[in-house]
Amino acid sequence: MKLYSKIVFFALLAISIASCSKDNSSTPAKMSATIDGKTWSPPDLGVMGTFSSSTGVFTITGITGTSSLSIIIHGETTSTYTLSIYPVKTECEATYIPSLLSYSDAYFATSGTVVLTKVDKTKKLISGTFEYTLSNSKTITKGQFNDVTYQ
pLDDT digits (tens, 9 = 90+) for 2-21: 444 444 444 444 444 444 44
User: With 60 as the cut, is the pLDDT of residue 109 above it?
Assistant: yes
What is the structure's pLDDT at 45? 84
Contacts with 140 (C-beta within 8 Å, 6 or more apart), sequence order: 33, 34, 35, 69, 94, 96, 109, 112, 130, 131, 132, 133, 134
Beta strand segments in 9-138, E: 30-35, 38-40, 47-52, 57-63, 68-74, 79-84, 92-97, 107-120, 125-134
Name the strand (E) or helix (H) holding 11: helix 2-19
Per mean pLDDT, which range of 57-66, 88-97, 124-133, 139-148 is the poorest? 88-97
* Residue closest to 29 by CA, chosen among 48, 1, 15: 48
More confident call, 64 vs 27? 64
- Write the burial class of residue 62 (CB in 10 Å: 0-12 exposed, 13-18 middle, 19+ buried): buried
What is the structure's pLDDT at 114? 97
User: With 80 as the cut, is the pLDDT of residue 26 above it?
Assistant: no
pLDDT digits (tens, 9 = 90+) for 71-81: 999 999 999 99
Question: Could you tell me how many residues make up the chain?
Answer: 151
What is the structure's pLDDT at 88? 66
* Residue closest to 15 by CA, chosen among 109, 103, 110, 130: 103
C-alpha–C-alpha distance, residues 52 and 103, integer Å: 25
